[in-house]
Amino acid sequence: MSERDAAYRRVFHHHQMLRDLLACVLEADWLRDLDWAGLREVNTQYVAERLQRRVGDGA
């Protein structure tokens, strides 16, 4: 994982920080309707069909 990826993970781990960041860069009414408390971390590491260890981007 690159340093940039680690920084993104840290930001996304803190819901208030993420909400504030998005509010600064987006002018979208739908931001206030999001369920920020309902955010859950998704495991992006998995084993592929050919048994290789894989890491996704969570998308």
* Confidence at residue 47, expressed as pLDDT on a 0 to 100 scale: 66
Cα separation, 49 vs 2, in Å, equals: 25
User: Which pTM value belongs to this model?
Assistant: 0.48
7-57 pLDDT per residue, tens = 877 877 788 888 888 888 888 888 888 888 887 777 776 666 676 655 665
Residue 16 C-alpha from the chain's centroid = 13
